[in-house]
Amino acid sequence: MFKFKIGSLKLLNFVVILSLLAGCGFHLRGTFSIPQSLQTLQVLPNQPYDAFQRTLRQLLKSNNITIVDPSVAETTKVATLTILSQTFSERTIAYGSNGLPNRAVLELKISYQLTNAQGKPLGNNTLVTVERELTLNPNAVLGTDNERSHLQTDLYRDAASQLVRQLSMIPDHEER
């Protein structure tokens, strides 16, 4: 009856798979749909050299969010993301037979408050917590320190991603 060429079958399969992915809400990792009221944002305190804030600002910019300087925010009303606290901790969770620690958990807690352009809080203070497990090797101290540094970078990236994901869940209703 119908004769399809192999190329048209592949194209049809591609279109069907693409439709299914789009229909189920699939998005590429790291891309979020941020409400229009949060497309321009001020981040406080303004600490551009802080590792977490640097990671957060990069992620916000990659999601097409304009970050304004506090001096600009004084003249125009914009939503504000205030980082209330940032705590990095390490705790030992296991000891070896020699009595030395051989496993630890690195934990990063970020508390923040989001306010709209009129200064009204959008929800309560929110806490983002991420943690990673670190294997401690007393025979390879430099390797352990290098791994700790990589895990800390991962913690910053994951915490920033969680925070931006939470921003994307805020309903887009600007109060006037």
101-115, strands of its sheet edge to edge = 66-68, 40-44, 79-95, 101-115, 126-135
Q: Which of 2-6, 75-79, 112-116, 144-148 has the lowest mean pLDDT?
A: 2-6
* Per-residue pLDDT tens over the stretch 75-114: 788 999 999 999 999 999 999 888 889 999 999 999 999 9
Most confident of 2-6, 67-71, 151-155: 151-155
What is the per-residue pLDDT for 61?
Answer: 93
CA-to-CA distance for 159 and 129, rounded, in angstroms? Answer: 7
What is the per-residue pLDDT for 129?
Answer: 97
* Per-residue pLDDT tens over the stretch 15-48: 888 777 766 655 555 566 777 888 899 999 988 8
Query: pLDDT over 70 for what percent of the chain?
Result: 86
Query: pLDDT over 90 for what percent of the chain?
Result: 46
Q: Are 68 and 75 a contacting pair, CB within 8 Å?
A: no
What is the per-residue pLDDT for 28?
Answer: 52
Calculate the alpha carbon distances from 160 to 49, 84, 96, 129, 140 in Å: 15, 14, 34, 10, 30
What is the per-residue pLDDT for 25?
Answer: 58
What is the per-residue pLDDT for 175?
Answer: 43
Q: Quick check: helix, strand or coil at residue 53? A: helix
Assign 161 a pLDDT band (cuts: 50, 70, 90).
Answer: very high
